[in-house]
Structure 1
């Protein structure tokens, strides 16, 4: 053919093309349109320049294409069009496990060859027809296997869909949609195979049973002469990777297991050579390689290390072998392991598990905790991973006593470890001592809970004979009763009330009831005596003590409020939020390294006289970095916004001093804003706030 289709049909029935050669057509070699029952057998269909080998329109059905040879066609070897497509080349139809009346040949699903291995001149083949899994819709269908050639641009979802060059055998699809078996003899030159589905059903138009053929499925390389190999090596730096110059370990037994569809079957074993190298000859399939140096187990998931060594990697590795060789290395080292978890001992919602210094089900690990180990004169440090696990690989012999120490994170305290509980001093709770017989498989755990936290530091004023209210919130992270006590430096009378989250009084605070993890609210009511002298300064210490449930231990937290007696009525309040996650304003906030924490300091003159000098200073935590240019007004940028009585001012608090003379600066980690210099005296009834942003360093 030198122009157009080799064969073009329209509205035909039972057309037969057999032992026909169609090459070099400029469009599709064969184009079937509104065709029923066409049979194309034992034909050569090659070199279509501008189309597929066989193009089947969406209104064509029962096209049976068997025992043909395809190659070098521009489109698919067989292209079943989807309605309403009239494309010359449409491309691969994805399987869906169903028949589709709007597709050419009802969209028969193509076969998926899952496994193809060679033994001599025979190929062992397994596969299915369906979408990702077998479909019973195609039970009884015939799958024809062909040697394959990669097509010109025939690909879908990362896989190549080739063209069947030579028919090599067939299988019948079982009742679930699977097929498997052997074909022989098959030439050694057959390196890639593909397949088509021929599905038989009754045609009402033809009045007979007839076959419909699918497109070709994805190519599958034949696996032969493949290997799984690797090294058993001395992991000198414990990084679980074989680095340059790390020596192999000779004479280590490796076992090979293969998954046979229902379980694991032992295949063979080998030993490492003088370089620590091993190798298994395998075909395609799923395998497990097990390091069992002392030959202690008959299992695909249990192994043993060489005498005197400890594994840094798992003793077994699962390997899927498809078309290329695979590697699996095993790291060991001479020495011992000390490991354990630092975990949250709050009980995972079960009160009877809380604070018992035992890692119970559901209690999560705490990441980023510093743990040190001392072995003789050697000292090592680790940080717990995302699961709260720490692990020390210690070379050489143990030097007793081996001492493990945990450093609590700033927001945590210890409830104990495996040899102490909450009643022991904190130093003991954070220390584990191993005096003999270190066990590399034991877990030396540390139990922590988040500390009790009183939120809020308040500065208020009140007249003699008045009652002043001061509100706080209390963060309780674990189970236990919490008692509150207050100490007034001036001996003022103070009562403590519990509030709900809306600020409603629930009653006097009960020091004896067991409290669950939650945020609680309380109010101090301070009675200022009528005889109190104006200008008197009262410092109030607020202390909370929690007695842990299931433990003799306890935790405590403190904060301070101040009251100035007199007409001047300055009140100050500090709040914070995690800006990165659009958190709400509160008395405390949490964040991860790199996140933005925003602060708001509110102030008000509740008295009857002006306050001549108001300077706000705020020492920043060392883990916080004051951000620059974090706010803007018009074209100006700054890092502090000051608002008084609705009037906003953009300030630049520079590091090292007030270079721009706007009365805002940060020096020595302390933010200072001189409100009086900016706006003058704070008048009675005036109020305002300032905000600034920081970034968590770590």
Structure 2
């Protein structure tokens, strides 16, 4: 027997003397290429017969079938299988691997397709095995990528062939990006250009343009998404990629590669026809499945703009009060300001509200400032993150009784440059002016705690960041203010975190507060009470004691952006 083949067999050597047992000794070990028999005196003259018995060890061979693509696939196995690598160069073909002889028979053996080296886009979709002894069957685990051959099926002489099948998943892919025109890009056009960056964590899903959801995902750090199409989906089936924006962002447009998709229009691109719909949530790109895959289906979003903040002041009859406000653009566009409505309580005439430009964002009405409303002035161009500051001036009629008030709703109308079709948004805030015999001035500022920002009349924040509002009160009159109450609300798209008193004049001897953590009918709690975060709604601080003329202090509250 050639020595090179012994490793594929189990080998047993036995000897007899005159047909009976021999007391002589064998040198060497069963299964070796040669053995030596030492014949002792007791067997002298007897006929010595030695027999080699060989049994073929079981073998395993892997065959690889790749559907929808090509590539090199790696395998490993127990019981002496070791490893194998099979290259499939023609999609749909089957390629055989090396025949492997196992170390021992009747031993469970596990074959594994190495997922880490599997070509991109492929998935282990099935396996079948033939040649197992006694009708035994293999156990296939599609998740783990393993095929387990039972011990009972691996007797001596069996030749097992296992066919592993991998399928290249058909996908729909693209990215979500900030369409704000940074880095010399074109804002709001639905095309990735300039230095426009990715949006990670955006929610996308693949549907039948109805209630059936085929796949869903969040975009990765590069803004990319990849959604698998179910196997067997018929060519020509209706499909939609849908993107859902949080309330802090606005959808501006979409594209297929470098072809823009104006909302509501069917556009030919990349060998197909695509229709983007911007209205409603989520926005979507609709198309017919081409049977192979669709790539570069991109969605453009921008941060929502902001107009801040609500104001509340008191003034004497016949005087004027002013409020500083800032509009911050989430993308390039144009903004104009107006007074959306005024409500006087009681209903008396004579209240007058005007809006002035505040070039340089000084926070006060400057001599010669341009009047923006009324009448309505030309819109002001603004780039991404640009700020437009205004001063609202409120005249209190001389006949206004003490305790009366006027709520003026100020509106900023923003038009998104380059959007197709046109896109606009409106942002409002309220200034509440109350007639008082004393002049209590309230000033509201905000800062981004997460970004270690400083207080100002406006700030920007991302989802998950914390904003802190500071309301400063000052008695500008010549008489004490008694039992002062400061009221506010959690802003839209935020959740309550905490409320405190900050610096308080010594003449204010006590304070209780009501927040979303103890909203009515729950009672007020001491302002020093630490409360759980969560909820939205009214916040108020009720003081006992007085604010003396010239006295000042502030209260604080924090919210988290949704």
With normalisation by structure 1, the TM-score equals 0.47
Measure, in 2, the Cα distance between the counterparts of 1:357 and 1:407.
16
**Counterpart residue number, 1:520:** 388
DSSP 3-state at the match of 2:378: coil
- The alignment's C-alpha RMSD in Å is 4.6
Deviation at 1:462, TM superposition (A): 2.0
For the pair 1:455 / 2:308, whether they are aligned, the reply is yes
If asked which structure has higher relative contact order (CA below 8 Å, sep 6+), I would say: 2
Measure, in 2, the Cα distance between the counterparts of 1:290 and 1:643.
63
**Unaligned regions of 5+ residues in structure 1, if any?**
1-230, 235-240, 256-269, 279-288, 292-302, 310-330, 628-638
The 3 A distance-change label for structure 1 pair 475 and 661 is closer
The 3 A distance-change label for structure 1 pair 692 and 570 is same
Deviation at 1:251, TM superposition (A): 6.8
DSSP 3-state at the match of 1:544: strand
**Counterpart residue number, 1:687:** 552
2:342 to 475, 488, 494: 488
DSSP 3-state at the match of 1:346: coil
Tell whether the 8 Å contact from 2:183 to 2:194 is kept in structure 1 after alignment: no
For the pair 1:584 / 2:437, whether they are aligned, the reply is no
After TM superposition, list the pairs within 5 Å mapping 1:61-76 onto structure 2.
none
Measure, in 2, the Cα distance between the counterparts of 1:546 and 1:501.
19
After TM superposition, list the pairs within 5 Å mapping 1:261-660 onto structure 2.
273=97, 333=167, 335-350=169-184, 353-375=186-208, 378-379=212-213, 380-398=215-233, 400-418=237-255, 419-421=261-263, 426-427=279-280, 430-437=283-290, 440-486=293-339, 487-490=341-344, 492-499=351-358, 500-503=360-363, 505=366, 506-509=369-372, 510-517=377-384, 518-551=386-419, 552-590=422-460, 597-620=467-490, 624=495, 626=497, 640-645=500-505, 655-656=517-518
Measure, in 1, the Cα distance between the counterparts of 2:242 and 2:298.
11
Measure, in 2, the Cα distance between the counterparts of 1:249 and 1:398.
34
After TM superposition, list the pairs within 5 Å mapping 1:15-414 onto structure 2.
252-253=87-88, 273=97, 333=167, 335-350=169-184, 353-375=186-208, 378-379=212-213, 380-398=215-233, 400-414=237-251
Deviation at 1:692, TM superposition (A): 4.6
Deviation at 1:470, TM superposition (A): 1.0
DSSP 3-state at the match of 2:310: coil
Deviation at 1:442, TM superposition (A): 1.4
**Counterpart residue number, 2:42:** none
Measure, in 1, the Cα distance between the counterparts of 2:464 and 2:415.
35
Measure, in 2, the Cα distance between the counterparts of 1:386 and 1:684.
55
Deviation at 1:459, TM superposition (A): 0.5
Deviation at 1:445, TM superposition (A): 1.4
Aligned residues: 389
Tell whether the 8 Å contact from 2:508 to 2:546 is kept in structure 1 after alignment: no
**Unaligned regions of 5+ residues in structure 2, if any?**
1-63, 68-73, 78-82, 99-110, 127-164, 256-260, 266-276
Deviation at 1:428, TM superposition (A): 7.7
Measure, in 2, the Cα distance between the counterparts of 1:649 and 1:428.
51
The 3 A distance-change label for structure 1 pair 485 and 658 is same
With normalisation by structure 2, the TM-score equals 0.57
Tell whether the 8 Å contact from 2:353 to 2:408 is kept in structure 1 after alignment: no
Tell whether the 8 Å contact from 1:578 to 1:597 is kept in structure 2 after alignment: yes
Deviation at 1:420, TM superposition (A): 3.1
